[in-house]
Structure 1
C-alpha cells in the first residue's frame, strides 16, 4: 500500500469535471451573495419599514441553522409541496442565501462605520438621500467591509463541498464516487485537499489585489498643483512677456 501516482493521473480528468462544477456554482453564488449583501445591508442601515425586520429575520435564520440542513430542505423538502429544484440550482440558491446573510452583516458594519459628519456634509452640499448613499456611504463602506466579505466569499467556495450530499457532481462528489469504486482514499482526499487549497490561495490572491485597489491610502497623491517655486517662475515669465 502506497501513494499510487499512476492512478491519480488517470482519475485527474474526472476530478477536473468536478472542479468545473465547483467553480461554476461558487462563482455564481459569490456574485449573488455580493448583491444580496449590499442590498440587504442598505435596507437594514436605512431601517426601511416592514422590509428591514424581514431582512433581519432572514439573516438570523440563515446564520443560526446548519448549511447542510438548508440544502436538504431545498432539495428534499420543497418537492413535497410541488417545488422540484435540480441539484446545481439548489447549490446556487443555498450558497447564495447563506453567503448573502453573512455578507449583509459584513456590509452593514461597513456602512454603519461611515462618519455622520460625512453624511451631514453631503446633505449640506444639497445632496438628497440617494446621492449621499451613492457617493459617500456605499463607496466608503464597501472599502471598509470588503476584507470581511472576502472571508465570506472563501467560505462560500469551500462550502460548495456540501453539495456532494445531494449528488451534485462537484469536486468532493467526484472524489467520493471514485473512492466508492476503487477504495483509493489516500490519493483522492489528498488530491482534493490540495485542489481546494490552491483554489483558496488563488481567490485570496485575487481578493488581496482588489483590496489594494480599493485602499485609497496606498495610492500616491496626484500632483494637482505646482510647487510654489514653479508657480512663481511661471508668473515671472508671464510678467516678462
Structure 2
C-alpha cells in the first residue's frame, strides 16, 4: 500500500471516510518518505514508526565526528496526531468513533544528514503516547501547559549514529579527497581508481607548469601576453629566468 497501513484506502472506506478527520491530519501517503538516505539541504518526509508522517525542518550545518552534516528535526504535535485507528485496528467505523480510545502521539526527532552520500548518520528520537485522562468518549483535550486532561503513559527513546571507525573510514575515503586540493591526498584510503585519477591530476599540474615556463621563454608568446599584462616582453623574460 502507498499509505500508512492503518490509513490505507480500504481502511478509510471502512470508517466511512472519517479516519483522517478523527486522526487530526491528512498526511497518510508514504510516497517520498525517506529511509536511510535523505536530502541534506531540503525538507523531507519521515515515516514515524508507522503511526504518522512527519516533515523535517532543516537546521544548521555542523561538523560531527569530523564529517560535515546538516541538522534536521521532525516534530509531531499530539493535538493533531490521534492514533486510535492504529491501536484498535478493527477495520470498522469503531476506529474513528470519537473517544473510543483517546490516545495521542507526540514525537521529537533529531537527525543529521551528510550531503555527499545523503546518508542519515545520526538519529535521536523521543516518541510519547498521551492518554486523555477524562476517559473513553472524550475528545479535544486541553494541551496547554499545566492542564491535567492528558498524561504521558508510554515513551520510546531510540538513538543511532555512525560509529567512530565508520566515520574515520568515510573521512579518509570521501572528505579528505574533496575540495580544490583534494587530489593531493592521492586517493587516501579509497585508493583504486581515485588514486589513479589524482595521479593524473598531479601530472597535469606538472605538465601545465612546464608548458607555462616554456611559453614564457618564447619571444612570440611574450609578445602575445604583453597586452594582457601591460608590460614589456623583456621584463617578463627577466622574471622567468
User: One fold, TM greater than 0.5?
Assistant: no
Higher RCO (Cα < 8 Å, 6 or more apart): 1
Q: Which has the higher strand share?
A: 2
For this structure pair, what is the TM-score category when the shorter chain's length is used for normalisation? under 0.3
Q: TM-score scaled to structure 1, two decimals?
A: 0.22
Larger CA Rg, structure 1 vs 2: 2
Q: Which has the higher helix share?
A: 1
